[in-house]
Structure 1
Amino acid sequence: MVVNKRLILILLFILNTAKSDELSWKGNDFTLYARQMPLAEVLHLLSENYDTAITISPLITATFSGKIPPGPPVDILNNLAAQYDLLTWFDGSMLYVYPASLLKHQVITFNILSTGRFIHYLRSQNILSSPGCEVKEITGTKAVEVSGVPSCLTRISQLASVLDNALIKRKDSAVSVSIYTLKYATAMDTQYQYRDQSVVVPGVVSVLR
């Protein structure tokens, strides 16, 4: 059915785009000496050094002065996040950086989709990370609470909507076929002659008695 094909395409798109792998951090060692350098510029330099796309909130306006010695890039990022009260989240293709003050909470309610299966899916795709993107079930409801940076909330909300709506469409498009025995109906084959050929049309019940 057309609806089922569309459902499969939607789910394949989600599976191909939603997965959030760990940062690859491929590049040379990063080191920096700076005085009153905008923190956003430091973050850009760090991400460029390791060939990672980055989106930085315009609300990050602090400046950096000091030295960043060579070391594991994830440690450099975590140290900057701790020093300047930042939250980070990597969605598989983009690293997002926000002030911790932008941590948001949102409740998402499902019509059909199981909250447990939804959270299991998010974990299997490595979308969740603490504290930039977390999801927990709300006991006794068909809802989850999302806590994280704005980009996380947007992504989780989109996934929840697409998956739940896909299940609704699949349920609505289900077709039930039943076979009944008709004791008082007949279905006679009809035979036609066409260009010296005998054509037989299978009988269809048209009159019930």
Structure 2
Amino acid sequence: MSLSVPPPPSAPLPLPPPAPYRAPHRVAVIAPSPVSLFNIALPELVFGRVEVGGRPGYEVTVCAVEPGPVPTTGKLDLIVRHGLDVIRTADTVVVAGTGHRFEPEPEAVAAVREAAAAGRRVTSICSGAFVLAEAGLLDGRRATTYADLAQELRARYPAVDLAGDVLFVDEGRVMTSSGYAAGIDLCLHMVRTDYGAAVANDVARRTLVAPVRPG
């Protein structure tokens, strides 16, 4: 009687190499004076939820012209620990808004102009568009801002192609959003641009907001 001999076990398949480490995308958020607490919280809310390969996708730092207490449009003050120097190492600069009329601080205007010249992505939420417009970054570009301030921005900066009834405008390295919750849409759009739709939609699900809506 012949006995069958089982074949030798096959060698285990080699494990795939680990994905290359990708450093977090660095975001500097400028808090104007006064700042909307809602506006300033949006980038951390969205970008802080991004994980890619188990690692943070973004590193968010809030900065101001003068570190320390920054007045807000409400009854609370915001303590900001960093000055505008952090912008020099950022990949993206976000200028938060106030929701009200305000005069752009010259130091912030100069900082975003320098960031744009260095090739960094420069964006605004709500009335933060006034800082970008004052820096000349919106001249000849489509842009948007808080609807209540659109008429003033158009009068002060006639070279801006101001778009109404949109959530945000993507002009490549320069992006702007309308007021308040439209900043969430802009931040999700940036996540989609940086890491893809699946990551952006996952962030939207975990933060209980609508998936990426077109601008």
TM-score, scaled to structure 2: 0.21
Larger radius of gyration: 1
